[in-house]
Structure 1
Amino acid sequence: MPTDTAAEHVNRYLDHLTVERGAAANTVNSYRRDLARYEHYLTARGIDGLDAVTTDDVREFLVELRRGDPDAGLGPLADSSIARTLVAVRGFHKFATAEGIVAADVAHAVRPPRPARRLPKSLPVDDVLAILDSAGSDDQPRGLRDRALLELLYSCGARISEATSLDVDDIDTDARAVRLRGKGGKERVVPVGGPAVDALEAYLVRGRPALVRRAEPALFLNVRGGRLSRQSAWQVLVDAAHRAGLDTAVSPHTLRHSFATHLLDGGADVRVVQELLGHASVTTTQVYTLVTVNTMREVYATAHPRAR
C-alpha cells in the first residue's frame, strides 16, 4: 500500500467526516492520528493497497497496538485507546467499501478487546464507621448537616447527585425511608437505618433551621441557605476521611460501593441490592459479587490449612 495512495484515501475519508458527517475538529484530528498509525503499520507489512488488506491484518494491528512498536517510537496503548483506534479503522474501511475503493469491508467483523472488569473499590466496615464518626460536630449546624449527609449516603447507597437533590419532603423519618430520584428521573423508595435517621432528625431540628435563609425545599443546605452542591458534598466526605486518618482516596461512590459490598457480604440477595441501588439491570449489580468472591478467596487462602 503506497504511502501517497493511503494518505489520499485517508484524506478523502477525513474530508467526508468533516463536510458530510459534521464531525468535530477534535474528532477528525483524533482519527487522523489513529489512521496515520494504521497506515504506518500497513506500510511496514508491505501491504501495497487497501484491496490487499485482510481481516487478519486488521486483527494483527490490534495486537501491535497493545504491544507497541519500539522501532518506530510507538508505545503500547490501553484497551480503551485500542477500541477508539479500531473505530477509526472500521470507519475508514466502511467508507472505502461504500466508495468502491475496495470490494469488501474486511474490518467489519473485527471487535475491540474487552476491557478488564474494573472492580469497584469498597472500604472495610471499620473504615466507613471511622469516616462517619469524623463527619462533623454535633453542636454546629454544618457538622450536623455533614454527619446526616454521610450517614445517609452509606445507609441507603445513594448516588451523590441523588442525595444533593433531596428535598425535605423526600424524607420520612417515621417510616425510616427516603425517596430517591435516580438516572432517567426514575424514583425509588429505600429504607434508611437507625443511625442515619437519628442524624437526619438532629440536623432537621438543630442544624437546618440555622442554615435556611429563605423558602428552600432542599434537604441539605450550604452556608448561604441554598442547595448544597455535588462538589461541596464530595468535599465533606474527603474532609471526613482525612480526619479519620484514611490514606486511600475516597469518593461518594466509595460509600455506595461499600454499601453494596457490605450488604452482599451479609447475605443480601443480589436482586434486592439491585433495587436498592437503582440499577436497571441486575448485570450491573453483579460486579459486586466479584468483590465478595475475591474476598472469600483471600480469606480461604490465608485461613484454610490445605489452601496451598
Structure 2
Amino acid sequence: MPVLTQSPIQSFLDYLKFEKRYSRHTIVSYQNDLDQFFSFLASQYDGIPLKSITHSIVRSWVVELMEDEIQAKSINRKISALRSFFKYQLKTGVIEKTPMSNIIAPKVSKRLPTFVNEQDTKQLMEALNTATEDWKSLNAKMLFVLFYATGMRLSELINLKETQVDKSKSYIKVLGKGNKERVIPITKDVLTIIEDYRQQKRKVFEEPAEILLVTEKGKPLYAKYAYLLVKKYLGEQAKNLEKKSPHVLRHTFATHLTNNGADLNAVKELLGHASLAATQIYTHNTIEKLKDVYKKAHPKA
C-alpha cells in the first residue's frame, strides 16, 4: 500500500472505531476493502494521491472486480466502504470533491432467506434434547435453542455474558451492531435451559468464564466452533437446506414470527435492524401462504 494513503486510511479506521463505535469485525471488513482498492491504485496508477482519484479510476476498479467474477453483493459492499471513506476525507478537508458521485452499484438479484420449516425445527430440537451426552452436543443444543429463541447474530451470541441474562424479568440484553443495546424476551423454558448450562459450567470448570457459552476447555466459544457445529447438525437434520449456517437460524426465527402474525416493527426491533426495509424480506413466506390460502379457498382461483 502506498505510504501516502496510510495516514488517511488509519485516520478513517480510527473514526469508525472511536466515533462510530463499529465492531472490530466491521472495521476489519472496511480495512480489507480499502487495502484492496489502494493495492489496485499502486499497481495500475503508481500510487496516485487521494486528490487525483477520479470516478473513472474507481469505475475501472469496479470493472476489474466484475471481470474477476466477484459477486454483485460483495462489490456493492466495497463501493459502500469507498463512499464512506471519501465522505470522511471530504469532511476532514483532505479532498475537495468525492470521486464516488457518479459510481453506480451493480444490481443484486434478490435472494429469499433460507430457513428451516416449523415441522423440521421441532424435530431438530427434539433430536438435540436427547443428544447431550458430552459438552460439544450440549453446546449444540444451546446454540440452536438460543438462535431460534432470540434471533441473535452469531457475533452477539458468542459474546453474550451471563450477566446479560435477566432471570427475574425473563429477557436477554443484547449488544448489537454499533454497540446498540436491545432487549429480547425469552420464555421460562429457555431460562431453565440457560440456568442448567450455567450450573453444569460450574461443576465442570474451576473458574468458569463470564461469557455464557464455552468450549470443552472452558474457553469462550469462538465463531468457527459455533459455525461448524450448527452446520453439522443442520446437515444431519435438515438436509434439503440450500445453506447451513447460524444465520439460517436467525432467518428461521424471523420467518416463523412473521408467519404467525407478529408485527413487522416488533420483528425489526427483536432483530436489531436499523430500518424496516431489512426486515421486509421476512414477509416473503407469509405472502406465499396467503397465495396458497387464496388458491384453495377462492371460487375463481
TM-score (norm 1): 0.64
Query: Equivalent residues in 2 for 1:22-171 (5 A)?
Result: 31=60, 34=63, 111-135=104-128, 137-171=131-165
CA distance in 2, matches of 1:235, 1:169: 26
Q: Which has the higher contact order (CA 8 A, sep 6+)?
A: 2
Kept in 2, the 8 Å contact 1:211–1:221? The answer is: no
The alignment of Structure 1 onto Structure 2 pairs a total of residues equal to 236
Kept in 2, the 8 Å contact 1:123–1:254? The answer is: yes
Query: Equivalent residues in 2 for 1:180-191 (5 A)?
Result: 180-191=174-185
What's the CA shift for 1:263? 0.7
Kept in 2, the 8 Å contact 1:168–1:217? The answer is: yes
CA distance in 2, matches of 1:121, 1:198: 29
SS class of match (2:251): helix
What's the CA shift for 1:146? 2.5
Kept in 2, the 8 Å contact 1:151–1:196? The answer is: yes
Give the percent of matched residue pairs that are identical in Structure 1 and Structure 2.
Answer: 28
SS class of match (1:188): strand
Relative to structure 1, is the Cα distance of residues 267 and 209 closer, same or farther in structure 2, using a 3 angstrom cutoff?
same
CA distance in 2, matches of 1:83, 1:138: 43
**Based on CA coordinates, which of the two structures has the bigger radius of gyration?**
1
Relative to structure 1, is the Cα distance of residues 273 and 15 closer, same or farther in structure 2, using a 3 angstrom cutoff?
same
Relative to structure 1, is the Cα distance of residues 200 and 215 closer, same or farther in structure 2, using a 3 angstrom cutoff?
closer
Partner of 2:45: 15
Kept in 2, the 8 Å contact 1:14–1:32? The answer is: no
> Structure 2 regions of 5+ residues with no counterpart?
1-40, 81-99
- Structure 2 letter corresponding to 1:147: K
Kept in 1, the 8 Å contact 2:62–2:75? The answer is: no
> Structure 1 regions of 5+ residues with no counterpart?
1-10, 36-64, 66-73, 88-106
Query: Equivalent residues in 2 for 1:145-294 (5 A)?
Result: 145-205=139-199, 207-244=200-237, 246-248=239-241, 249-294=243-288
Kept in 2, the 8 Å contact 1:221–1:227? The answer is: yes
Partner of 2:21: none
Relative to structure 1, is the Cα distance of residues 172 and 113 closer, same or farther in structure 2, using a 3 angstrom cutoff?
same
Relative to structure 1, is the Cα distance of residues 260 and 218 closer, same or farther in structure 2, using a 3 angstrom cutoff?
same
CA distance in 1, matches of 2:177, 2:74: 27
Partner of 1:4: none
What's the CA shift for 1:237? 1.4
What's the CA shift for 1:76? 9.7
